[in-house]
């Protein structure tokens, strides 16, 4: 994982820790232990979803970049790109399951091409 993303994740986790500590102190009702734990779990779930989405987005960007660099080598579009994507899709799906169809790999490729100047 890139240092910027890792640092952002650590910052988010530290903010979460501070927020959760505050929330734990505020809950002083009869069910304060339950409510405190419930709040921690709910906030953790939100943070997990955010972090997972960031990692998935970064991974798809990198996959798109690798496809472009391998197939195009600076050209607008390689002639054999379609055949390569079909084989790559087959291999990735066999090992990692759904999510790596030829269409999805093409989306990842396009995602990289669209955002390569904004994300480095």
Does residue 12 fall inside a structural domain?
A: yes
Does residue 66 fall inside a structural domain?
A: yes
Does residue 26 fall inside a structural domain?
A: yes
- Nearest-angstrom CA–CA distance, 15 and 102: 39
Domain that holds residue 11: 3-115
Q: How many domains is the chain built from? A: 1
What 8-state DSSP symbol labels residue 19? H
Compute CA distances 67 → 27, 74, 102, 106, 107, whole Å.
51, 12, 12, 9, 11
Does residue 108 fall inside a structural domain?
A: yes
Does residue 64 fall inside a structural domain?
A: yes
Residues 69-84 have pLDDT tens digits of 887 775 555 566 778 8
Torsion sign across C-alpha atoms 31, 36, 39, 41: negative
Does residue 120 fall inside a structural domain?
A: no
Compute CA distances 79 → 65, 73, 84, 90, whole Å.
17, 12, 10, 19
One DSSP character per residue, 51-113 reads HHHHHHHHHHHHHHHHHHHHHHTTSSS-TTHHHHHHHHHHHHHHHH-SS--HHHHHHHHHHHH
Residues 29-41 have pLDDT tens digits of 567 888 888 999 9
Does residue 39 fall inside a structural domain?
A: yes
Q: In terms of C-beta density within 10 A (0-12 exposed, 13-18 middle, 19 or more buried), how is residue 75 classed?
A: exposed
Does residue 104 fall inside a structural domain?
A: yes
Range in 22-26, 40-44, 91-95, 99-103 the model is least confident about: 22-26
């Amino acid at each position: 994982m890139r240092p910027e993303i890792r640092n952002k994740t650590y910052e988010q986790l530290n903010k979460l820790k501070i927020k959760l500590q505050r929330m734990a102190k505020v809950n002083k009702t009869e069910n304060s232990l339950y409510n405190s734990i419930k709040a921690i779990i709910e906030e953790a779930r939100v943070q997990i979803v955010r972090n997972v989405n960031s990692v998935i987005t970064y991974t798809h960007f990198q996959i798109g970049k690798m496809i472009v660099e391998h197939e195009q080598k600076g050209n607008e579009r390689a002639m054999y790109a379609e055949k390569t994507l079909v084989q790559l899709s087959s291999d990735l799906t066999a090992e990692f399951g759904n999510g790596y169809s030829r269409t999805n790999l093409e989306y990842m490729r396009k995602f990289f091409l669209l955002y390569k100047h904004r994300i480095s």
